[in-house]
A and B are shown apart, each in its own frame.
Chain A
Amino acid sequence: MQNTITGQAARERQERSRAGGLWLIQAVSGLLLVALLGLHMVAHHFVVEGGLRDFQQVLDYVSNPVIFFLEVVFLVVVTAHAMLGLRAIVRDLNLSPAAARAADWILALVGAAALIYGVWLAAAIQQL
């Protein structure tokens, strides 16, 4: 009985510590996004005549390696932040531990797929 309670307490401590670490990643990625998204909005919309770049302007923009790097960093940070946010919402639904673990895996796979597709897309646009 004592061992069961101790094991459960250890698991809960581990879960709390993990949740704290993920919260910190989400908070830091959110603060980074304020800068990255601000830059993205201004560069892509507010300084461009008509609010959107035409085809050639997009190609010229992403052909700059610094811009390409910043866009990939933006994609990584925004995807991580979005998936952690969705995880927090899923965790609030009082799912069973098995369902919560399955949801974690699904969100991780969706996030990874979005990242891989996004980086491939950015590289493909750069090659046009």
Chain B
Amino acid sequence: MQNASATRNDVRPRRPLRAWFDVRRRHMGSWAFAINRLTGLGLAAYLFLHLAVLSTLLQGEAGWDRFLQLARSPFFLLLDVVLIFGILFHGLNGIRVALVGMGVGARQHRALFWVLMAIGFVLLAYSAWKVFTI
């Protein structure tokens, strides 16, 4: 008799990480899943980076000013836009995943995804404009 855990593991891809990046025959849900995980990894890394950056406040005004000078360079402003993309995609897709997982809007999950992505696009465009003009 085959045990239940062996059966469960057999249906998982043998190389799950490679499966994320294999774009062949992918549907919207798989793309959303892969991008959600990639943005999640990036945001988790950013959490630790953010704590490290904030610790420069302990060096006093001069240390913080050095960081501000770096953070206001065009390259870092571009990275801010990438960060905002990650936050918006992960957050909005996460709302869909949480709602569908709780049984809300499960049948309309595709429409929900595209509506949330449209909202995300508008917010990203506004945020990018704000980042470069504020």
Q: Count of chain B residues with Cβ under 8 Å from any Cβ of A? A: 41
- Is A46 at the interface (CB under 8 A from chain B)? yes
- Among B1-26, those with CB < 8 Å from A are 1, 3-5, 9, 12, 14, 16-17
A89 adjacent to B41 (CB under 8 Å): yes
Q: Is the interface of A mostly helix, strand, loop or mixed?
A: helix
Tell me if B98 and A8 are in contact (CB < 8 A): no
Q: A residues within 8 A CB of B40? A: 82, 85-86, 89
Q: A117 vs B48: C-alpha distance in the bound complex, in angstroms?
A: 10
Which of the four size classes fits the interface of chain A?
A: 35 or more
Cross-chain contact B4 with A9 (CB below 8 angstroms)? yes
Residues of B at under 8 Å CB distance from A? Answer: 1, 3-5, 9, 12, 14, 16-17, 37, 40-41, 43-44, 47-48, 51, 54-55, 57-58, 60-61, 64-65, 68, 71-72, 80, 87, 91, 94-95, 97-98, 101-102, 127, 130-131, 134
A residues lining the B interface (CB < 8 Å)? 5, 8-9, 12, 23, 27-28, 30-31, 33-34, 37, 41, 45-46, 48-52, 54-56, 58, 78-79, 82, 85-86, 89, 92-94, 114, 117-118, 121, 124-125, 128
